[in-house]
């Protein structure tokens, strides 16, 4: 068998790492995470918060990530505290592969809140939701009905977040158990941002907030289970792959505008 040159061997190693999802350098020098000392947290540990709130673990001293997420989310009195609680949450392994938490963008207190799925590569780099190609399409969709995430006026502004705040490796769909432990934070996020109307972009947002998938059936039908009117819509990334579905997305945007105009 022919021997690989050093350059070929290095390239094969890099390709292999990219296939595993390590496609983004986080620093200039390698870090041995197994040798790194875990620093003490300034925030109370999730289990301390959970115990204080009276939640039992999953059994036999096992942590219960969903119960801990609920306790931590409920204890957050404002958006800054919620963000800190999410930074301190240690049960979601997606955090280990992401470069940072992607919390939100836009105008808190805006009439409309958009909830998407999870950050992709651009969002992970910039620390803001919906800044890549799908985000640019989302901005154009919102502009078509007079909304703008940069607007300071709550009537025209939009608040944008995701159900999952850390980029999944290779942009894979978040697993059900990951969604389950992040839902309490997303619910609290909606409560604290207090929009009049919530737009759920795609299946993961619907699964988390409504407990249902099947966006083709759900889209365009108003629901009020998350405690306020919410409208499931096709995800902009789906619209990029399926431009024919923009017709339905346009109908949903008009329904959103009509709802806002009627209030
Ligand atoms: N897709 C999402 O659901 N959210 C983002 O932030 C980017 C792409």
Examine residue 208 and state whether it is found in any structural domain, yes or no: yes
- pLDDT at residue 244, rounded to an integer: 97
Examine residue 46 and state whether it is found in any structural domain, yes or no: no
Examine residue 37 and state whether it is found in any structural domain, yes or no: no
What Cα–Cα distance (Å) separates residue 52 from each residue in 72, 86, 183, 187, 258?
A: 10, 17, 20, 21, 45
Report which of 138, 159, 113, 145 is spatially closest to residue 237, judged by C-alpha positions: 138
- pLDDT at residue 32, rounded to an integer: 61
Q: What is the mean pLDDT of residues 135-148?
A: 98
Q: What is the mean pLDDT of residues 164-190?
A: 98
Question: Which atom of ligand 1 lies closest to the CA of 122?
Answer: 7
Say if CB 85 and CB 76 are below 8 A apart.
yes
Examine residue 219 and state whether it is found in any structural domain, yes or no: yes
Q: How many domains does the chain have?
A: 1
Residue 199 Cα to ligand 1 midpoint, Å, equals: 13
For residue 243, give its domain range: 60-262
Q: Residue 241: which region, alpha, beta or left (left: phi > 0; alpha: psi -120 to 50)?
A: alpha
Q: Which residues does ligand 1 sit against, CB inside 6 Å?
A: 116-120, 123, 129-130, 132, 134-135, 162, 237
Examine residue 52 and state whether it is found in any structural domain, yes or no: no
Examine residue 201 and state whether it is found in any structural domain, yes or no: yes
Examine residue 155 and state whether it is found in any structural domain, yes or no: yes
- pLDDT at residue 7, rounded to an integer: 76
Residue 102 Cα to ligand 1 midpoint, Å, equals: 10
pLDDT tens for 206-251 read 999 999 999 999 999 999 998 999 999 999 999 999 999 999 999 9
Examine residue 203 and state whether it is found in any structural domain, yes or no: yes
CATH number for 121: 3.40.470.10
Q: What is the mean pLDDT of residues 124-148?
A: 98
């Amino acid at each position: 068998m022919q021997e690989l040159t050093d350059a070929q061997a290095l390239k094969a190693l890099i390709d292999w790492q990219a296939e595993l999802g390590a496609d983004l350098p986080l620093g200039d020098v390698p870090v041995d995470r197994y040798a790194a000392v875990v620093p003490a947290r300034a925030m109370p540990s999730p289990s301390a918060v959970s115990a204080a709130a009276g939640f039992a673990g999953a059994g036999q001293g096992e942590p219960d990530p969903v119960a801990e997420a609920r306790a931590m989310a409920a204890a957050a009195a404002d958006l800054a505290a919620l963000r800190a609680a999410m930074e301190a949450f240690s049960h979601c392994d997606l955090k280990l592969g992401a470069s940072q938490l992607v919390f939100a963008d836009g105008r808190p207190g805006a009439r409309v809140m958009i909830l998407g799925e999870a950050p992709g590569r651009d969002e992970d780099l910039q620390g803001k939701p919906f800044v890549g190609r799908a985000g640019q399409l989302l901005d154009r969709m919102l502009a078509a009905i007079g909304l703008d995430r940069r607007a300071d006026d709550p009537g025209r502004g939009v608040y944008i977040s995701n159900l999952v705040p850390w980029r999944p490796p290779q942009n894979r769909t978040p697993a059900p158990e990951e969604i389950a432990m992040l839902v309490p934070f997303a619910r609290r996020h909606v409560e604290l941002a207090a929009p009049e109307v919530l737009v759920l972009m795609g299946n993961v947002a619907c699964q988390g907030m409504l407990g249902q998938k099947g966006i083709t059936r759900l889209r365009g039908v108003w629901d009020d289970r998350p405690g306020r009117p919410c409208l499931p819509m096709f995800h902009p990334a789906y619209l990029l792959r399926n431009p024919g579905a923009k017709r339905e997305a346009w109908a949903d945007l008009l329904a959103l505008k009509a709802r806002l105009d009627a209030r």
